[in-house]
Amino acid sequence: MSTSSLLTPVRLGALQLKNRVVMAPLTRLRAAQPGDVPKPMHAVYYGQRANPGGLLITEATDIAESARGYPGAPGMYSAPQVAAWKRVTEAVHAKGGLIVVQLWHTGRISHSSMHAGGALPVAPSAIAARGQHMTAQGKPVSFEVPRALSLEEIPTIVAQYTQAIKNAREAGFDGVELHAANGYLINQFMEDGTNQRTDRYGGSIENRVRLLLEIIDSAAAAWSADRIGVRLSPGGSFNDMKDSNHEALYDYVVTHLSTRGLAYLHVIEQRESPDTPAGTATSDVAAKIRAEFAGPVIAAGGFDQVSATAAIDAKHADAVAFGRAYIANPDLVERFRVGAALNPYDRRTFYGGDERGYTDYPTLEASASTT
């Protein structure tokens, strides 16, 4: 099977890509504390992984201080954060790359120690996730019962997303991705396992999807719909998510997103666990959504070069996002191009820490110079 299709051009809304290899949003938890400000090594990290005409999606980035859920995750709500992100986008653009920022509000996947005055995390309904999370100090702790957002507070959430999008534009990003997947706030509103509201944001599928559509419409007015992507995880159970009829839910979501002129949908394929070896991915979820969505689809979740190429050749996806492979191989696209072996990744350095396991993975060129 030829791998050439993975390295052919594709257009995602306003973004013209020279290849279909996308860097997935990868939480790394290395922002400066306090303040959640990207460090100089963030510019090095993203700059290393930039390639001419290729697309990088940043790690999930908080839209507001009240959106925080993980110690060390960066933000997009303060002047120092915007200035730091500008250095990141400049590093990527200097190599001819494109970069969008993934924006999130973690909702109930948080802890009171991360919020002013020890305030509880917020959610559509006061339903705790099962399992454990972490405090602001990184200590394991059971999830708290979140506080249900009042109807009057929801416009503030929309406004926070809109301001973060304006900040991203100021920081020089080429677009934004809204994180509506993996059990965070937008996803919590969408699914009935976490949303038991009885007002206009709860009950019917139409009501539960209302927040997502309001955020998208406000974002499009603040910038441009063709620079906005949305990440979805249909049928996913991560962060204790469930819905009584996820097929009907996501059919509705895709139908209504098709009318918005978005840059892309980014779809997570379900895996047995995060440790599932690369190359075992199917593209079944992406294929279904691509058949329904009036726009490009990025598939993600356990792909390698061969399975990604197969997904594109089968027209199940227009591009494929790589995570662990991109962490360990800053020159991933070049390795795919020449058929080179990949560096192994070190899971111990995925979250938190310093440059080790972050900016010290060797490129092919660097490896050749030391042999």
Active site residues: 184
Distance CA 47, CA 138 (A): 28
Burial degree of 325 (CB within 10 A; 0-12, 13-18, 19+): buried
Distance CA 353, CA 1 (A): 40
Closest CA to 27 of 16, 42, 44, 12: 42
- As beta bridge partners, residue 23 has 56, 322
Closest CA to 109 of 124, 97, 92: 124
Q: Burial letters for 26-50: b for 16+ Cβ neighbours within 10 Å, e otherwise?
A: bbbbbbbeeebbbbeebbbbbbbbb
DSSP reduced 3-state for 213:
helix
* Cis ω before 34 (30° cut-off from 0): yes
Helix (H, G, I), strand (E, B) or coil at 363: coil
Q: Of 304, 125, 114, nearest to 203 (Cα)?
A: 125
Query: In a 10 Å sphere around its CB, with 0-12 CB exposed, 13-18 middle and 19+ buried, how is residue 203 labelled?
Result: middle
Q: How many CA atoms lie within 13 A of 195 on its CB side?
A: 30
**Separation between Cα atoms, residue 70 and residue 106, nearest integer Å:** 8
Both tokens of 106, joined, read: 């973690």
